[in-house]
Homo-oligomer: A and B are copies of this chain.
Amino acid sequence: MTDATLADLRSRFAGRLLSAPEDTAPFLTDWRRSWTGRALAVAQPDTTADVAAVVRWCAARQVPLVPQGGNTGMVGGAIPDDGGRALVLSTARLNRIREIDPINNTLTAEAGCILATVQQAAQEAGRLYPLSLGAEGSCTIGGNLASNAGGVQVLRYGNTRELCLGLEVVTPDGEIWDGLRGLRKDNTGYDLKQLFIGAEGTLGVITAATLKLFPRPAARMTALAAVSDPHAALRLLELAQRRLAATLTAFELMSGVCVALVARHFPDCRAPFERTHPWYVLLESSDPHSEARATQAFSELMEEAFEAGIVADAAIAASLAQSDGLWRIRHHLPEAQSLEGDNLKHDISVPISAIGEFIEHTSAAIVAANPGARVLAFGHLGDGNLHYNVSAPYGVPQPAFVRANGAAISALVYEAVHRVRGSISAEHGIGQLKVDKNAHYKAGVEMALMQKIKQALDPHGLMNPGRLLPGASHRAH
């Protein structure tokens, strides 16, 4: 790419165009340093019209385009390949909150808005934007939408897909689709926004969205319950859903191994029980009425669960500090794993009814084939979503263990997921990490339907090529 070409691009849009290696570097490696790519430049357009101008420039020259939000993805979906032909389109400067309508319970934000900024804006309007996940301080709304982000409150409020009422998108030929509607009911054709949500930038660039807001709960209550196994955790889930219905906002499973690992690296993060237990459940309720009513509902639930022999012990947080203490166990889990050395990660989902047997059989098979291997199972039980990770036996270095056994263990996990009609990517997406595995496990009819849609909307395969779908990258080269 010549300087003249870049100068031509620079003249087409308002915003920044980064091309010096020290400027583009942060956009070419993901935050976990798993992938590094090359690009001819990084464009940061100021407005939706500027995004459209950049996309048209790319389309006219057959330049592949890689949209990028906060660069906090887990699957390399926003990092270009190493061909150096692609333009990275960063949404960083599309960072305005365009409108808040508290009566309609909607907020319209541009794609580059940080999730925490949107949460804050909703709060200042007396409302709740419930999407909540580890990266919320740096991930963007556009990235949340492109990857259909999940997080800890999906049980009550749904994935990002369910939180979006309208979209603004720049199509692969550089047109602007203004679908920013704030309607709960609209049956006037194909629900196009659903196609762009979760498409990981392969069908167009999301530039803004109208999001659902909710009333803020009057009280939040947290409890930790000790159970003997995942089957008991499922019985507790059934009871909690019956008794608390939609006030149950989180239901997180953690194995005793996980909780012990956190305690080892963060000595003040411990389960408040006299003895250790094989499994734990972290529950959260959000009550619209009062703290008193929330406490009563939790107390009655735990009493009933105890009498039915479902829980072995339980602690209900009596203060915000106690509640934070319980959540810290869950939130420190990723870091505790990092401190042990990066293990083998699987972000999977299975039907909730299949979780008990899935964990039992799969863990047994892994340990049988890899004596001493430690399965770290935790996740959003209420959504059927497990983070099912495998660590090396004590004393064995993680990298060597993963190199030697990772492929076989992952194959075992994904085969087990496939048998119960589960998903090999529950909330992280496909990106470049799982593109081959996904093509392997998905039925041919479904892959063909996806390819037809990709072909119809992006016939030259320029939008984030080689991500989500195989082959597009080769077509573009």
Name A's B-contacting residues (CB within 8 A): 101-106, 147-148, 150, 154-156, 158-159, 161-162, 171, 175-192, 194-195, 197-199, 203, 214-215, 217, 234, 238, 241-247, 286, 288-289, 297, 349-354, 380, 382-385, 421-430, 434, 438, 442-443, 445-446, 449-450, 452-453, 455-457, 468-469
Contacts and interface: CB of A to CB of B under 8 A. Distances in A.
A333 to B, nearest CB: 18
Contact of A198 (B190, B242, B445): B190
A288 B456 contact: no
Contacts of A455: 456
A162 B159 contact: no
A428 B186 CA distance: 9
Given A178-B443, A234-B103, A422-B183, A192 B247 contact: no
Nearest to A385: B185
A357 B348 CA distance: 48
27 contacts: A101-B351, A102-B238, A103-B238, A103-B352, A104-B351, A175-B445, A177-B449, A178-B443, A180-B421, A182-B421, A183-B351, A183-B422, A186-B349, A189-B438, A189-B442, A190-B449, A191-B194, A191-B195, A192-B446, A214-B245, A215-B245, A244-B288, A245-B246, A245-B247, A247-B288, A453-B456, A455-B456
Nearest to A242: B215
A423 B187 contact: yes
Contacts of A443: 177-178
Nearest to A106: B351
A432 B194 CA distance: 24
Nearest to A288: B245
Contact of A190 (B188, B190, B199): B199
A430 to B, nearest CB: 6
A11 B162 CA distance: 44
Contact of A184 (B246, B384, B428): B384
A246 to B, nearest CB: 3
A179 to B, nearest CB: 7
A452 B456 contact: yes
B456 A423 contact: no
| Shortest Cβ-Cβ A-B pairs, 7 listed | A246-B246, A194-B194, A456-B456, A103-B353, A245-B288, A186-B423, A185-B426
A150 B154 CA distance: 22
Contacts of A469: 189
Contact of A104 (B195, B353, B424, B457): B353
A423 B183 contact: yes
Given A183-B422, A245-B288, A288-B243, A446 B189 contact: yes
Contacts of A184: 154-155, 159, 349, 352, 382-385
B246 A185 contact: no
B425 A104 contact: no
A187 B383 contact: no
B189 A450 contact: yes
A108 to B, nearest CB: 11
A150 B198 CA distance: 24
